Structure 1
Amino acid sequence: MIDDFAKALPRRKSVGVPVGNVMVGGDAPIVVQSMTNTDTADADATVAQVSALARAGSEIVRITVDRAEAAAQVPHIKERLERIGVTVPLVGDFHYIGHKLLTDYPDCAAALDKYRINPGNVGFKAKRDTQFSQIIDLALKHDKPVRIGVNWGSLDQELLTKLMDENAESATPVSASAVMREAIIQSGLLSAERAEKLGMGRDKIILSAKVSQVQDLIAVYADLARRCDYALHLGLTEAGMGTKGIVSSAASMGILLQQGIGDTIRVSLTPEPGGDRTREVQVAQELLQVMGFRAFVPVVAACPGCGRTTSTVFQELAQDIQDHIRVSMPKWREDYPGVEELNVAVMGCIVNGPGESKHADIGISLPGTGETPSAPVFIDGEKVTTLRGPGIADEFKQMVLDYIEKRYGNGTKSSSDAA
């Protein structure tokens, strides 16, 4: 049936992992997470950015713990966040000396909600297994989950060399990129197996296998998902800046999510000069929302414009409403439960305007070039009024706010109510 193609595949069954007050995997919704770019030793800057990311909707925030000064500040950062009502789980990102920092700073180990381990640099040669074991033992001591995060740029070179040598001797050798992908997968699975042998349950282990190229990411996670039931963290190692980063993240993760793969996502955007770090949270939310997996904010649909829409009124109105919604959402979530499911349409001419507006919860069809200067408004599929004159935009914005108050203000709105 053609309807089958309009649905994502059933979600892959994974083992749920509690990270602070957030569940990752199992039957839990796909989780949005982010990472700070502040120096964690600067507690003021880190508290401010974690708070901003959490307010933007990040459900887990990762912070760098790279040296003693950073580790010493982690418990103070956690305490200050809790004092201002920010309870987002904090993940410590460790490379090279995580075993030492977690040992020397037990308050840091206790304050963090999860430890991220990179098996490619947790230690080298004889020290690797010992230092990996130390981190797992500390996670068990403090009852913390771990993410075993493999990155192609810091891949275990011993494992990669071994697989390259085996491939060279094979009667049916594969490409170097295929060997690299297999090394990434094996690094994660072997590390998880080692963690289990040390006593860590599967409900304490999350895996990630990050690369920079879209096709490689899809191939790695599709294979990894078939070979284990650990919760999976999706994301490119670095997506890039601006449009390129957004498209790369959406293209790669969108395909995997449609296949039912992925329990938590991070969009690793490079911020533009002076840009806002919270942009990566917005993109992650929008990806999940447009694919129908989560609802975070009301959707504002607007036509792209053409020769019939020489006026910019519909564009300005759509932007005004969208900006107002995003600014208002922290309060609206409390005052108007279910408001994130609202659909608003702001259309620019008579061709598709009335039809699109009827399919939204509330919509307006503004006049295009040469059309009568009037704008019919539709609520729940029915035309309720026609706006005219220079105040059309302000009148419609007020109608949207009135609609939200009426429909969601009693706190009983749900998806089933709209069916």
Structure 2
Amino acid sequence: MTRQAISELRLHRTTTVRVGSVNIGGGAPIAVQSMTMTDTADIEATAAQCIELADAGSDMVRITVNQDEAAKAVPDIKQRMLDSGCTVPLIGDFHYNGHLLLTRHPKCAKALDKYRINPGNVGTGNRRDEQFQTICGIAKVNGKPVRIGVNGGSLNQDLVMEKMQANTDKDLGLASEEIINECMVISALESTELALRSGLTEQQIIISCKVSRPRDLIRIYRALATQTTQPLHLGLTEAGMGLKGLVWSAAAMGTLLSEGIGDTIRVSLTPSPNGDRREEVYAACELLQSLSLRAFAPSVTACPGCGRTTSSTFQELAQRVQVYIRSMMPTWKMQYSGVEEMTVA
């Protein structure tokens, strides 16, 4: 399929949300996101991994902000990135206590380019809305966008029980997975409305609904695409390790992207012990490049091998070429316009 044909499939037009220097939605290039796995309080290690992920092709980098020490470290992490020439947006990932951390650490709130809020664990009962609105209020004051990140593992159980009971009372005959998928969409849309009532604009809200199974993710995002024009962040949660994580992520996100659904993506791979975190970035870039949605690096075409190939020379050569290209891309992108479009055979 040609690049023109793919672009014509992008019929789900969304609102543009600016995250730092990167536009999300509104027809902008689909952005790759990654997440560090360092202790955020370790400024040196976290800044180094942010830079490493950016050099690998990540357009945005997310870090955990889970305690006071992490929140205090954020401004220094951002400054180290800038000092090294790394300008990718820095996103703060908040669970449970984000309203407290952002309130206690205004420098952290200012340094971050976007806040991720999980409406399922921002609070319980009446405090859920109050604490959610606190984060939205801080985002409004600082002019920051938010991602309303609904997650299947922390979905509002009050909403689930309400829908389960209605299914029983009205004899609707829905399977439990259908009800949970519906609740994911409802949670995202209701949280978006609450964010708007809290003073945020449509230009400040990105939505995600992450689950672990490709089939459910496809159904949820197809439903979202018919009910909102907010930019959509795609990704499986807990995709898994290695081959399984790659295949499941590609099956889910490739389907949606080919339908024109999705404005930013993350391939959430579980790394092997001492593994390379950049692998999730490479996977996301390859997925987009395979659909001709973006170009990140020259594509290496290599023989898969068969009974006619008795030597490992071609395998070793292909591997060396791939490693070399990845190592040189940060430099080549600065020096040679269009190098990403090349094919190496």
Q: Which residue of 2 aligns with 1:253?
A: 253
Q: Which residue of 2 aligns with 1:342?
A: 342
Where 2:329 maps in the other structure, the secondary structure is helix
Alignment pair present for 1:117 and 2:113? no
What displacement does 1:167 show? 1.1
Q: Which residue of 1 aligns with 2:275?
A: 275
Stretch moving more, 265-274 or 308-317: 308-317
Gap change, CA 1:140 and 1:56, over 3 Å in 2: same
Q: Which residue of 2 aligns with 1:22?
A: 22
Whether the 8 Å CA contact 2:6–2:291 is kept in 1: the answer is no
Whether the 8 Å CA contact 2:2–2:292 is kept in 1: the answer is no
Where 2:232 maps in the other structure, the secondary structure is strand
Runs of 5+ unmatched residues, structure 2: none
Q: Which residue of 1 aligns with 2:203?
A: 203
Q: Which residue of 2 aligns with 1:415?
A: none
What displacement does 1:326 show? 1.1
Alignment pair present for 1:325 and 2:325? yes
Q: How does 1:10-409 map to 2 (within 5 A)?
A: 10-345=10-345
Where 2:62 maps in the other structure, the secondary structure is strand
Whether the 8 Å CA contact 2:62–2:93 is kept in 1: the answer is yes
> Percent identity between the aligned chains?
56
Give 1 or 2 for the bigger CA radius of gyration.
1
Whether the 8 Å CA contact 2:6–2:293 is kept in 1: the answer is no
Where 1:302 maps in the other structure, the secondary structure is coil
- For residues 341-399 of structure 1, the C-alpha deviation after alignment (integer angstroms, 9 at most, x for no partner) is 00121xxxxxxxxxxxxxxxxxxxxxxxxxxxxxxxxxxxxxxxxxxxxxxxxxxxxxx
- Alpha-carbon separation, structure 2, partners of 1:41 and 1:339: 37
- Work out which structure has the larger RCO, using CA pairs closer than 8 Å and 6 or more positions apart in sequence: 2
- Alpha-carbon separation, structure 2, partners of 1:49 and 1:266: 16
Aligned residue type for 2:102: L
- For residues 175-197 of structure 1, the C-alpha deviation after alignment (integer angstroms, 9 at most, x for no partner) is 11100000111000000011111
- Alpha-carbon separation, structure 1, partners of 2:51 and 2:180: 38
- Alpha-carbon separation, structure 2, partners of 1:121 and 1:58: 27
- Alpha-carbon separation, structure 2, partners of 1:295 and 1:243: 23
- Alpha-carbon separation, structure 1, partners of 2:244 and 2:147: 27
- Alpha-carbon separation, structure 1, partners of 2:334 and 2:262: 28
- Alpha-carbon separation, structure 2, partners of 1:188 and 1:23: 21
- For residues 62-88 of structure 1, the C-alpha deviation after alignment (integer angstroms, 9 at most, x for no partner) is 100111111111111111111111111
Give the TM-score of the pair, scaled to structure 2: 0.97
Runs of 5+ unmatched residues, structure 1: 346-419
Where 1:238 maps in the other structure, the secondary structure is coil
Aligned residue type for 1:61: V
Whether the 8 Å CA contact 2:6–2:292 is kept in 1: the answer is no
Where 2:293 maps in the other structure, the secondary structure is coil
Whether the 8 Å CA contact 2:10–2:261 is kept in 1: the answer is no
What displacement does 1:325 show? 1.1
What displacement does 1:3 show? 9.0
Aligned residue type for 1:274: N
Could you list the structure 1 runs, at least 4 aligned residues long, displaced by more than 4 angstroms after superposition. none
Stretch moving more, 76-85 or 279-288: 76-85
Whether the 8 Å CA contact 2:209–2:221 is kept in 1: the answer is yes
- For residues 5-27 of structure 1, the C-alpha deviation after alignment (integer angstroms, 9 at most, x for no partner) is x7472341000100001111112
- Alpha-carbon separation, structure 2, partners of 1:322 and 1:311: 19
What displacement does 1:284 show? 0.3
Aligned residue type for 1:157: Q
Aligned residue type for 1:52: E
- Alpha-carbon separation, structure 1, partners of 2:139 and 2:237: 25
Where 2:301 maps in the other structure, the secondary structure is strand
- Alpha-carbon separation, structure 1, partners of 2:274 and 2:39: 17
What displacement does 1:310 show? 1.5
Where 1:168 maps in the other structure, the secondary structure is helix
Give the TM-score of the pair, scaled to structure 1: 0.80
Q: Which residue of 2 aligns with 1:362?
A: none
Aligned residue type for 1:121: N
Aligned residue type for 2:160: L
How many residues align? The count is 344
Aligned residue type for 2:40: T
- Alpha-carbon separation, structure 2, partners of 1:133 and 1:304: 54
- Alpha-carbon separation, structure 2, partners of 1:312 and 1:159: 57
- Alpha-carbon separation, structure 2, partners of 1:281 and 1:88: 14
- For residues 202-221 of structure 1, the C-alpha deviation after alignment (integer angstroms, 9 at most, x for no partner) is 11000000000111111111
Where 1:231 maps in the other structure, the secondary structure is coil
- Alpha-carbon separation, structure 1, partners of 2:306 and 2:100: 61
